[in-house]
C-alpha cells in the first residue's frame, strides 16, 4: 500500500521503516530539514538497534521529505506519529498532532484512513476527525483510526515487527479492513475496539508498568531497612504467573519518553474530569524521589561534594538508547556540579546528547570531563554513581574500582553481586540489597 507517516521520531520513523520492511511504500514527512537530509543520506537521527540497517535495506521503498502536500496527496493510509510532549501542568501537548491533521486535510486528494499512532489523551481522535472535516479542501472521505504503539526504546524495531498485540481503534468496518490489510504481513494478534478504548489501552498499559516499577522500588527501599534482599524477593514474586517477572528490577526510577509523561497525562486527564487516580499519583511521587536515592546514600560518606571527583557511569535513562529524557543523570549531575564536584562522565552512546542538554542548563559544564571508557572515568575518583546498566559497566573487571582514590560505589541498577564487591573490600551500596 501507499503510506505516509507524519513525524520521524521514535514512533514515526520506526513505524515507517517496519512498514517498508513488510512491503509497503512509505513516505516519511518531517518539517525539520536537517533530519530529512540526514535520513536521505541513509543515516538515522536516533540510535536504535537495527533501524539504520533496515533503512538502508529497504531504501527503494522509503522516501523522506518536507513536502507534506505531495506526500499526503494520494496516500491510502496516513499515520500520525509526531511527539506529544508534556506541558508544564502535566497534560499532553497536542499541537503537533493537530497541525499534522490540518496539513493532511488541506493536502489529501483521495479517500484515506488517518491513523493516530502518537500517544494521545482519550478523545483526541474525535478532535482530529473534527479538524479533518473542517479543514479538508477536496471532496474526499477522511476516516480516523487509533493505532497506539507499544515499543520500548532500545528494542523499538523488534517491538514493532513482533508486537505483543496490534490494537485497532476504529469506528467503521471499512477502516478495520484497511488497517488489517496494512498489518497483513505481521503475525501479532489483533484487537479491534473503538477509538476511545484504544486510546485508553495505551495509557492504561504504560501506567500499569510504571506502577509496577514504582511498587518494586518501594519494596526495595523497605528491604534495605529490614534486612531483606530485593533480588530474592522479586525472584519469588516473579514465579507467580499472575505477577510475572518483567518490570521487577529495582533501581533509581523509570525515565524515557513514555512512562513519565504518560503517568502525568493520565493523572491530569483524571483531574480534568474531577477524579483522581491515587495509584498513578503515588507512582509519580515515588519515581521523583527514587531518582535522588543515590545522592542520599552519598551523604553518609561526604557532607559536601565540594572538591570531589565523581565518576558517573551511564547518562541515558536505560541502555541501548541515546535518549536522555527524564534520565536520573539529568537530576543528579547538576546537583553535584552545584556543590562543587568535578564529574568524570562516561556513556556508551549518550554523551553528545548529554552535552547538548548540559550546555542549555544553568550549571558549570567546565567541571564535566567525558571519557571514552568507564575504566578511565573511574581512575582517581572519590565516588562513583552508576545510573545506567550498560553492558560495558556490567562487564567491568571489578579490580578497576581499586583505581579510585576512595572506592565508594553507589549502584542505582544493581549491576554487581554484593558478595563479590564485599570480597574486593570496597564500599558498595545498591538498591534494596
Q: What pLDDT, on the 0 to 100 scale, is given for residue 97?
A: 98
Domain boundary among 289, 304, 334: 289
Determine which of 2-6, 77-81, 336-340, 357-361 has the lowest per-residue pLDDT on average: 357-361
On whether both 159 and 246 belong to a single domain, the answer is no
On whether both 329 and 243 belong to a single domain, the answer is no
Q: What pLDDT, on the 0 to 100 scale, is given for residue 49?
A: 93
Task: Let me know if 229 is exposed, middle or buried by CB neighbors in 10 A (0-12, 13-18, 19+).
Answer: middle
Domain boundary among 146, 164, 193: 193
Q: What pLDDT, on the 0 to 100 scale, is given for residue 125?
A: 98
Active site residues per annotation: 258
CATH number at residue 252: 1.10.1040.10
Domain boundary among 162, 193, 224: 193
Could you read off the pLDDT of 407-426 as tens digits, one per residue? 999 999 999 999 999 999 99
On whether both 121 and 44 belong to a single domain, the answer is yes
Could you read off the pLDDT of 131-155 as tens digits, one per residue? 999 999 999 999 999 999 999 999 9
Residue 362 pLDDT class (50, 70, 90 cuts): confident
Indicate if the pLDDT at residue 196 is higher than 90. Answer: yes
140 in Cβ contact with 112 (< 8 Å): yes
On whether both 278 and 211 belong to a single domain, the answer is yes
What is the separation of C-alpha 41 from the centre of its chain, rounded to a whole number of angstroms? 25
On whether both 184 and 208 belong to a single domain, the answer is no
The total number of residues shown for the chain amounts to: 433
Give SS3 for 77. strand
Indicate if the pLDDT at residue 257 is higher than 90. Answer: no
Could you read off the pLDDT of 7-28 as tens digits, one per residue? 999 999 999 999 999 999 999 9
Question: What is the model's pTM?
Answer: 0.94
On whether both 229 and 332 belong to a single domain, the answer is no
Set of cell numbers at residue 325: 529524557
Give SS3 for 377. helix
- Measured CA to CA, the distance from residue 159 to residue 133 in angstroms comes to 33
On whether both 176 and 210 belong to a single domain, the answer is no
- Measured CA to CA, the distance from residue 132 to residue 116 in angstroms comes to 12
On whether both 280 and 149 belong to a single domain, the answer is no
Q: What pLDDT, on the 0 to 100 scale, is given for residue 364?
A: 87
On whether both 179 and 228 belong to a single domain, the answer is no
On whether both 246 and 385 belong to a single domain, the answer is no
On whether both 342 and 405 belong to a single domain, the answer is yes
Provide the mean pLDDT of the chain: 97
Q: What pLDDT, on the 0 to 100 scale, is given for residue 363?
A: 86
Please choose, from the candidates 84, 60, 69, the residue with its C-alpha nearest in 3D space to the C-alpha of residue 29.
69
On whether both 118 and 135 belong to a single domain, the answer is yes
304 in Cβ contact with 339 (< 8 Å): yes
- Measured CA to CA, the distance from residue 189 to residue 265 in angstroms comes to 28
CATH number at residue 315: 3.40.50.720
Mean pLDDT of 75-98: 96
| Domains of the chain: total | 3
Query: Where in the sequence is the domain holding 151, given as residue range(s)?
Result: 2-193
Amino acid at each position: 500500500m501507499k503510506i505516509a507517516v507524519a513525524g520521524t521520531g521514535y514512533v514515526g520513523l520506526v513505524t515507517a521503516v517496519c512498514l517498508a520492511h513488510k512491503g509497503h511504500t512509505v513516505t516519511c514527512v518531517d518539517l525539520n530539514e536537517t533530519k530529512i537530509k540526514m535520513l536521505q543520506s541513509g543515516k538515522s537521527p536516533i540510535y536504535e538497534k537495527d533501524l539504520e540497517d533496515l533503512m538502508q535495506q529497504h531504501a527503494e521503498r522509503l522516501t523522506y521529505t518536507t513536502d507534506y502536500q505531495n506526500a499526503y496527496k494520494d496516500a491510502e493510509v496516513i499515520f500520525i506519529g509526531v511527539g506529544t510532549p508534556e506541558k508544564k501542568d502535566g497534560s499532553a501537548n497536542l499541537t503537533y498532532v493537530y497541525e499534522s491533521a490540518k496539513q493532511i486535510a488541506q493536502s489529501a486528494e483521495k479517500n484515506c484512513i488517518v491513523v493516530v499512532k502518537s500517544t494521545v489523551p482519550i478523545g483526541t481522535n474525535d478532535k482530529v476527525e473534527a479538524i479533518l472535516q473542517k479543514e479538508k479542501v477536496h471532496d474526499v472521505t477522511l476516516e480516523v483510526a487509533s493505532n497506539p504503539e507499544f515499543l520500548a526504546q532500545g528494542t523499538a524495531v523488534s517491538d514493532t515487527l513482533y508486537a505483543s498485540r496490534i490494537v485497532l481503534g476504529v469506528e467503521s468496518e471499512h477502516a478495520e479492513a484497511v488497517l488489517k490489510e496494512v498489518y497483513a504481513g505481521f503475525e501479532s494478534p489483533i484487537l479491534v475496539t473503538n477509538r476511545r478504548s484504544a486510546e485508553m489501552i495505551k495509557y492504561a498499559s504504560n501506567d500499569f508498568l510504571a506502577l509496577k516499577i514504582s511498587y518494586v522500588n518501594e519494596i526495595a527501599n523497605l528491604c534495605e531497612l529490614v534486612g531483606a534482599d530485593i533480588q530474592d524477593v522479586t525472584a519469588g514474586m516473579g514465579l507467580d504467573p499472575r505477577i510475572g517477572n518483567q518490570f521487577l528490577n529495582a533501581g533509581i526510577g523509570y525515565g524515557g519518553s513514555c512512562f513519565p509523561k504518560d503517568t502525568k497525562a493520565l493523572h491530569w486527564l483524571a483531574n480534568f474530569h474531577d477524579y483522581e487516580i491515587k495509584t498513578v499519583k503515588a507512582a509519580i511521587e515515588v519515581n521523583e524521589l527514587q531518582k535522588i536515592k543515590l545522592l542520599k546514600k552519598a551523604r553518609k560518606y561526604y557532607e559536601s561534594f565540594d572538591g570531589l571527583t565523581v565518576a558517573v557511569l551511564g547518562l541515558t535513562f536505560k541502555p541501548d538508547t541515546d535518549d536522555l529524557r527524564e534520565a536520573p543523570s539529568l537530576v543528579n549531575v547538576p546537583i553535584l556540579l552545584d556543590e562543587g564536584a568535578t564529574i568524570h562522565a562516561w556513556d556508551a552512546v549518550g554523551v553528545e546528547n548529554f552535552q547538548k542538554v548540559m550546555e542549555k542548563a544553568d550549571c558549570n559544564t567546565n567541571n564535566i570531563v567525558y571519557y571514552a571508557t568507564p575504566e578511565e572515568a573511574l581512575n582517581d575518583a572519590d565516588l562513583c554513581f552508576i545510573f545506567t546498566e550498560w553492558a560495558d559497566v556490567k562487564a567491568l573487571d571489578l579490580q578497576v574500582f581499586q583505581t579510585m582514590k576512595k572506592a565508594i560505589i553507589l549502584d542505582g541498577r544493581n549491576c554487581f553481586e554484593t558478595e563479590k564487591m564485599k570480597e574486593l573490600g570496597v564500599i558498595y551500596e545498591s538498591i534494596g540489597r
